[in-house]
Structures are given as C-alpha cells and as structure tokens.
Structure 1
Amino acid sequence: MIKNDISINKSDKENVMELTDLKVFLTVADQENFSKGADKLGYVQSNITNRIKKLESELEVTLFNRHPKGVSLTERGLIFYEHAASINKRVEEAIFAVREAENFGGKLAIGVVETLASNKFMNILSDFQKQHPNVSISLITGTSPKLLEMIQKYKLDAAFITGQTQTNLFEIEYTIQDVVSLVTKRGVKAEQTSKTWAVFPEGCPFRKVLVDWLDSNGEKPTNFIEVSTLDTLLNCVKSGLASAVLPVSVINKTQEIEFNSTPLPEDYRLMETHLVRRKDLATNKGLSSFIEKINKNKL
C-alpha cells in the first residue's frame, strides 16, 4: 500500500493566505488608513481590520504601526509590500495574458512628466487608442521621483521620467534628448528676466537645473511660484508674472510668438527623458504595442 506523505491538517487550512488578503493589505498600505482602505474596497472597516489581524497572525509579524490618525508600514511591512505588490501584478498579467489570446485588450497605466504631456504626445496616444480600442489607458502625471516610486510599487506599467534612473531595476525603452532653455515673456530680454520663477513641485529635474544654474552665477532664487500643470506654468510666464527653465519642446509652433526661449549654458543645456519599465515584468501586448508606437513616431 502506497502511503501519501502529503497531508493538510486543520491548522494548515486555516492559515492559507488568499489573494484577497494581499489586495486588502496593499490598499490599506496605500491609503495609510483602515477606514479609507475599507471605503476604497467597498468593505466594512471591521472586515478589513480582521483580515489584517489574521494576516499578521499567519505571518507572525506586525505589518502596520497603528497611529491615532492612521497606519504606516513597519520594516517587515515594507518588505512584505514589495512581494505582495509583485504577486498582485503578476496575477493581473496572467489574467490579461489569457484574455489577450482571444481579445487584444486589457489595462495600460502610463506615467508622464508634465513637460512631456504635449500636443505631439497626445496625438500619438490618440492614434494608439484608435488602433487598439480595447486597451483601457490610464495616464498619470507627476514628478519623476513620484512616477519611479509608482513603477516600483507596480502601479504603472511604464513611465516617461526625466533625469537619471536605476538601470539595474528599469529597462529603458526610448530616450528623448531636449534642450533646456530660459523661457520668458515675448519681448523680455535675458537681462530683464523676472526674479520670480514658475516651477513644478520638488523632484522636478528642471527645477533643480534652475537652482544649480543660478547658484553657478552666485544667485539664489528667492521667489518660487509652484504650479502643478504645464498650462498654468506657461500662463505665468506669458503674463510676465514669472520666468521659467523648461525644455524648449514644450513650446509648440503656435506659442512661439508669445515666448522668448534662450538655451542655458552648455553645462545645463541638455536633459534626457526616458520611457522606462520594470525589468522583472514581461511586457504584455498592450505595452509592447505602445512602446513600438512611441519608437516609430519619435517624440
């Protein structure tokens, strides 16, 4: 008689971790709050709290620091987050891969720095959507550090980021080299440049170039107007309220009559923007087609 050495006792069955548990954990971690996590998932808070307690009991570690206003990940929680996010993403990829065998579709989350969200990029995206109407596109704008963090957390399939990137973690699929310029209102000479600067939030590489360039001239920027969109920034410059340091490509042909654009000195003149994705994830058909489209159309 052949004996089966593999058996599952009652306690093993009770300690089987479910994919739903991982989703609950990731959502609470992202929202930094049990109540907000429950609202996001459409559950009652007690359900979420009990699931997290069960998960911590199974792992025999504390995943969250509890605070009066919310929660934060412990050191062990941060480690678990990386693996849980990876598993969750791979399950999504597996589902999409099976569905793609019959129907080319699925979701595609792309991050874009504000300076790239130009008419040309939007036209390419529009053309891609017409060619692949079953692909659901999410477009997220943000600073390069924020977008890189989102890729690391498996929240983006790919992103356009400006400046240096970790080539050991990310695959660079496309690179744009742009000329960085001092942008002022039309008719304003370089020596008449406003000492007020319109800038994007901390983490924007063009903001850093501005600070470094002024520092090399013995100047310190004293007045920043921080904005979150390119349109608002350009309106600040067009009105004469502020000057800016930007890639010259953000000014399209119809806007050239409204701005002066003077390239910065050679040490600060060139900046690269890369389309990157995680190396450890295979590209699905949607992402592969998007990368191909970008390379073909040359941003």
Structure 2
Amino acid sequence: MDLTELIAFQTVMREGTFSKAAEKLNYAQSTITNQIKRLEKELGITLFYRNWEATLTPAGQRFAEQVDQLIQHWRYVGDIAKQLNEEEIGTLRIGVTETWADCHLPHILNEFRQYKPKIACEITVGHSAFLEECLQQEKITIALCADSEYSHLFSFEPLAQESISVVIPAGHSLATAQTVTIDELLSHLLIIGQSSCKYRLQVEKAFHTYEKEPLFYTLNQLSLIPLYAEQLNVIGIVPSSLHIDSGYTRLPFPVLDNHLNIGILQLRSMKYSSGIQQLFIEQVRNYFHNR
C-alpha cells in the first residue's frame, strides 16, 4: 500500500467512476484500475463493485471511513521525514480574506520566510464562505477568515475583530457627515460585497427591521468598491481593514454590533498538521499578539 493507491481510491470514491478519477488525477484509466487492484490485493478485500459506476462494497465503505486519516497520516510522516533530513522543501496552502491578504498576510509571510525560506506558498484569496469550501475540498489546509457556522466541521481560533465601514466619496451629499443612519443609507444606492460575504450578512441584518429594502450593487472584489463608489457617486460598505485612499469619508456602519471575529479556521477532520503548518500558525499568533 502506498500514498498513490490511497489517493486513487479516495478519488474514485469521490468522482464516482474510474474514468472520472483518471481524468481528475491526469492518469490513464488503466493506471487507476491497476492501483485499485493492487490495493485490493494488499488488503485482501474487494473495494468496489465492477459496474458503470464505482459503487463501494460493504468492506469498501468501512475502508472509506479511514482513508482520509490514512492519507493525512502518510503525508504527516513524510513531512517529519523531510524535517529529519533537514530538507527545507514543501508547499504551504493558505486561504485568506481579501482585506487580510492586503494588510496582514504579507507581514506574516515575511516573518515566516526567516524560518523557512525554501517553502513554497500557494495563497487563495476569497470571502470566508468560499474559503470554507476550499478547506473541505482540501485545496487549502488553513484559512484566515471569519468563523464558520458549521462548528462540527471546523475549528476556529479568533485572533482579531473586523468592523464594518461606510465609504463616501468626496462629491456625495453625505461626504461631510459626521455620522450616518440606517434611514439615510436606505435612501441611497449602496455598493457591497457578494451575498455570501460574512460582513454583508451582518449588514443585511441591520436592515431587517425596516420596511424599505436597500438597493445594492454587488462586487466580488472588495478593493474595487471605493473606486466604483467614486465613479458612480454612491456609498460603499466595506470591512474596515480594507485600504482606502484619501479623498473618501469613512464612517462606522450604524449598528451597535458591527464586528466579526476573524482568525484561524481549520477542518476538524485534519487530525495531522505538518510541522510547516504548525510553524506558520505560530507566526500568525505572534503577529497578532504583538500588534
């Protein structure tokens, strides 16, 4: 049994057929078939019924319950072996929200590179719900984002609070205001992040008790919201950590609780964390502790 056989089994199980698994892994179908046959021979059991769809046998179903942890453990052992051989190689796959990718992550990575200068980093930027999906699909192994409502799937370590700001361009009628109310916002076009953004959900809650509904333009790239607000002479709503050039009025979003907890999100099922990942997490903690 080796890691490629375990990954082949996991992929066939997830994709549903040998041909789709072969396409996913960029192998010939015969290669996948031979890997599964070798695995079945080593285990002494039949894992799949041989029909058009790769249906698990009862023994295959029991093995499937353990395969994710077997793969994690295999990679963990491999990582330890690399460290014992003093090999500074590997890849760290990080997910991060757009605002933290701009204002925090570069500083954290700069410190991390002092310890692991030859480690490659794959950085995925997106809103928190998207990063949850990436974690589940194992495209990333750690996310710096908002907490998840699915606490049975994810563990979360809060590190900082993110507030929400109203961004008003200089030419707007509210540009000289010291504060802004929900009623005033309801009278204007608002530009905001997409509906799955956690901060937008906080904003929408604030409007729930009002009969009039807000009119939103939606952008999935938060850094463009101030630009569009200026060009259209409307109001933008953004996380407060988003960098904004001078020339805009920035006001707190007018609700008592306009904060989100942001921190380290990981899959609970990822039982084994590599030494590289553990070191990165420690650098993240130190960064926020010393701010």
Shift of 1:283: 3.6
Partner of 1:12: none
Counterparts in 2 of 1:21-100, with a 5 A limit? Answer: 21-27=5-11, 37-48=21-32, 58-59=45-46, 66=53, 83-100=66-83
Contact kept? 1:86, 1:154, Cα under 8 Å: no
How big is the shift at 1:250?
1.0
Quick one: distance in 2 between partners of 1:259 and 1:97?
51
The C-alpha deviation readout for 1:132-152, integer Å capped at 9, x for no partner, is 212221111233233234334
**Mind listing any 5+ residue stretches in structure 2 that lack a counterpart?**
175-179
Q: Which runs of 5+ in 1 are unaligned?
A: 1-16
Distance 1:87 1:30 in 2: 16
Shift of 1:61: 5.3
Q: How far apart in 1 are the matches of 2:6 and 2:256?
A: 47
Choose from 211, 218, 230 the match for 1:225: 218
Q: What is the rounded CA distance, in whole Å, between the counterparts of 2:61 and 2:227 in structure 1?
A: 41
In the alignment, structure 1 residue 274 sits paired with structure 2 residue 263: yes
**Is it true that 1:197 corresponds to 2:187 in the alignment?**
no
**Residue 19 of structure 1: how far off its partner (Å):** 3.3
Separation (CA, whole Å) in 2 of partners of 1:47 and 1:220: 57
> What is the aligned partner in structure 1 of residue 231 from structure 2?
239
Show the counterpart of 1:139: 123
- For these two proteins, the number of residue pairs brought into alignment is 274
TM-score, with normalisation over the residues of structure 2? 0.74
CA contact (8 A) 2:167 2:248 kept: yes
1:187-216 Cα distance to aligned partner (Å, 9 max, x none): 43153774243323x421112122222223
Deviations, residues 65-123 of structure 1 (Å, cap 9, x unaligned): 95xxxx999xx999876643332222111101111122344321111122321133223
Partner of 1:148: 132
Cα shift at 1:182? 2.1
Give the distance between the partners of 2:151 and 2:123, measured in 1 at CA: 23
Q: Which of 262, 278, 287 pairs up with 2:251?
A: 262
For normalisation by structure 1, the TM-score amounts to: 0.72
CA contact (8 A) 1:184 1:259 kept: yes
Contact kept? 1:185, 1:237, Cα under 8 Å: yes
Who is 1:115 aligned against?
99
Is the CA contact 1:211–1:220 (under 8 Å) kept in the aligned structure 2?
no
Distance change >3 Å, CA 85–CA 33, structure 1 → 2: same
Distance 2:60 2:225 in 1: 39
| 1:61–1:231 CA distance, 2 compared to 1 (3 A) | same
Aligned with 2:281 (options 261, 285, 291) = 291
Q: Does 103-112 or 21-30 show the bigger shift? A: 21-30
Secondary structure of 1:43's counterpart equals coil
| Aligned residue among 167, 170, 174 for 1:186 | 170
Q: Which residue of 1 aligns with 2:177?
A: none
Report the AA paired with residue 287 of structure 2. Answer: N
CA distance in 2, matches of 1:149, 1:170: 11
